[in-house]
Amino acid sequence: MNAPALHLHDTPRSAPIRNDWTREEIAALFALPFADLLFRAQSVHRAHFDPNQVQTSTLLSIKTGGCPEDCGYCSQSAKNDTGLKASKLMEVEAVLADARAAKAAGASRFCMGAAWRNPKDKDLDTVCQMVEGVRALGMETCVTLGMLTAPQAVRLKQAGLDYYNHNLDTSPEYYRHVITTRTYQDRLDTLEHVRGAGINVCCGGIVGMGESRTQRAGLIAQLASLDPQPESVPINLLVQVEGTPLAGTEALEPLEFVRTIAVARICMPKSFVRLSAGRQQMSDAVQALCFLAGANSIFYGEKLLTTGNPEWERDQRLFDSLGLTAL
């Protein structure tokens, strides 16, 4: 099946946002010749964004390890023997000090992650203080805390939260191979609570977990079907951590990852597509292709929760060589 063609009278800018992408259509996009796929993705990208601007965010783990979930990729699961020691929730002022440093380094959004299945209300009060403090610095705020109830989402909105991150991780049918302690519907319910509270949604997935291309198409179909589509879509490349069930998984080919970025851009034209975990293992050339394919957001800083990230100087050199500026 051929991917739907772009006609002269139906430019990327005028084409409506679609929430009805089928897996067959998305699979056809994946199958396009590489140059054709990137041209189409870049055309869509330019219709909605400045192609030379990239949003920069910083991610801080405010509570590390000890999570009761059994996510097969995660070093923070108490069920995975990775040698990571659990920590308590950070103090508010310590978090704000990191936020100030991130802002000074050029980050425009500050993301805070806690390894919980779901937050307790007393802990949520502390997180809300963090959100209020980061907002007072003039930065966008994002948190990822696990599952939320509707009242908890409202509480975060009242604190001024801009974005809530809650990834779908993979396609519905592959999900059981990765996680058994939380259902796919649990994730969709949390997204509904977040959207209902008026908070922007940050929702993406992880590729390279042994899933097929068809299953990657299923993930993108699921993300694109959210109405409205997520404002931010992080695409993570699995970082294999010793002691996790997915350590030793066959690595995803770099150009297949680039294809995934391009297809996500086409299907979610107005979303920020974030080049997330796994960048440390990518060459500058692969990252450049990802930006060409429509990625326009990255995490800035040397650490993503518990895994590595490119050093600030390397990112700055890459931006300079590509003529990119931080948004």
Catalytic residue numbers, as ranges: 67, 71, 74, 111, 142, 202, 274
Cis peptide preceding 119, ω within 30 of 0? no
Angle at 149 between CA 87 and CA 130, to 5 degrees: 45
Closest alpha carbon to 127 in 158, 103, 149, 106: 158
For residues 131 and 145, give the distance between their C-alpha atoms in angstroms, rounded to a whole number. 13
Instruction: With residue 297 as reference, give the H or E element that holds it.
Output: strand 297-299
For residues 326 and 307, give the distance between their C-alpha atoms in angstroms, rounded to a whole number. 23
As beta bridge partners, residue 234 has 274
For residues 203 and 264, give the distance between their C-alpha atoms in angstroms, rounded to a whole number. 12
Largest CA distance in the chain: 58
Q: What one-character-per-residue DSSP string does 14-31 give?
A: TSPP-S---HHHHHHHHT
Per-residue HEC secondary structure of 45-82 comes to: HHHHCCCCEEEEEEEEEEECCCECCCCCCCCCECCCCC
Identity of the residue numbered 145: L
Report yes or no: 292 and 324 within 8 Å, Cβ to Cβ.
no
Closest alpha carbon to 221 in 273, 178, 266: 266
